[in-house]
Amino acid sequence: MNGRTLRIEPLTAEAFAPFGQVIQTEGSNHFTINRGMTERYHDLATIQLGGTDPRPIISLFAGQPYALPLSLDMVERHPLGSQAFYPTSAASWLVIVAENEDEKPVRIRAFRPAPGQGVNIAINTWHGVLCPIEKPASFIVIDRGGLDRNLEEHFFDDPWLVDA
């Protein structure tokens, strides 16, 4: 390892904007429905779908925890669809994303969502794998189904170290 270290940042809508949207109730458009018994937090993220015969799908992911510091040796991207993650528990987790330059991930960042925050990673954005920390965690995931391959992986020659 070459000593490259990523420091974990708190997740904010502004910091995450180049990579997609933060899914949260704070500051969102909301209104009351169901005869006043339900608050609807509306249109929190833009689902992007491309390719042949795309359709949105909803999945549940159950992730095992990673230990910090984390050795990051691979990121992936989905060229034909966005990918939204929303935790179903209060477990800690990380979102690792990178900008794209010449079809390679650059300027990598690591974010720790606060309780009640999820993310929608924009189409074709480099990102790390689902990364719960401390304990197992479950997530609702909304992404793309359909024809065509929707996964590219990039392996780093020198892994990054992700730490608090």
**What span, in angstroms and rounded, lies between the C-alpha atoms of 164 and 14?**
20
Per-residue pLDDT for 1 more than 60? Answer: no
Over residues 91-111, the mean pLDDT reads 96
What are the residue ranges spanned by the domains of the chain?
A: 5-163
Over residues 49-72, the mean pLDDT reads 96
What are the structure tokens assigned to 44, written together?
């929190």
Best CATH choice for the domain 5-163 from the list 3.30.460.10, 3.90.850.10, 1.20.200.10, 2.60.120.480: 2.60.120.480
With residue 158 as reference, give the H or E element that holds it: strand 152-163
**Alpha-carbon dihedral of residues 45, 56, 80, 110, nearest 10 degrees?**
40
Q: Closest Cα to residue 117, out of 96, 88, 145, 80?
A: 88
Per-residue pLDDT for 3 more than 80? Answer: no
Would you place residue 2 in the very low, low, confident or very high pLDDT band (cuts 50, 70, 90)?
low
